Amino acid sequence: MTLDAVSVLLAAASPVFLLVGALGLVRLPGVFNRMHSTTEATTLGASSALLAAALHFRSGASLTAVLAILFLFATAPVGAHLISRAAFEEDMKPPQNQKIGDS
């Protein structure tokens, strides 16, 4: 019963993470700021959705979901590092003294 409640809570929390990450992707300036916003937020969103599914089924499929979470946590930083290295090679330096918003 409690595990079902936790599962529903995680399923409700995951699109919040996804939306915050996508909002940062649209609003922030520059590649590095956008990557900073999306990498962690979408990883957390996908992991909470997978954890909700694992708690929902509580069978052999839960192991698949936990494996997918471990895989996401291992590969998301590697992928972000590769993208940022490619952006840096393209002479896109991180901005200095930037201002965000209407100020």
Partner 1 sequence: MTASGVASTALVAAAAACLLAAYRLLDGPSLPDRMVALDTITTTIVAVSALYSIATDREFYLLVSLVLGIIGFVSTVAVAKFVEEGDIIE
d(CA 43, CA 96): 27
For partner 1, the binding residue among 1, 2, 78, 102 (CB under 8 A) is 78
Query: What does the longest C-alpha to C-alpha distance in the chain come to?
Result: 54
Is residue 79 a contact residue for partner 1 (CB under 8 A)? yes
Is residue 4 a contact residue for partner 1 (CB under 8 A)? yes
The tokens for 78 are 């590697």
Nearest to 39 by CA among 3, 88, 72, 86: 72
Is residue 40 a contact residue for partner 1 (CB under 8 A)? no
d(CA 12, CA 1): 17
Q: Which residues bind partner 1 (CB under 8 A)?
A: 4, 7-8, 11-12, 14-16, 18-19, 21-23, 25-26, 31, 34-35, 38-39, 42-43, 45-46, 49-50, 52-54, 56-57, 59-61, 64-65, 67-68, 71-72, 75-76, 78-80, 82-83, 85-87, 89-90, 92
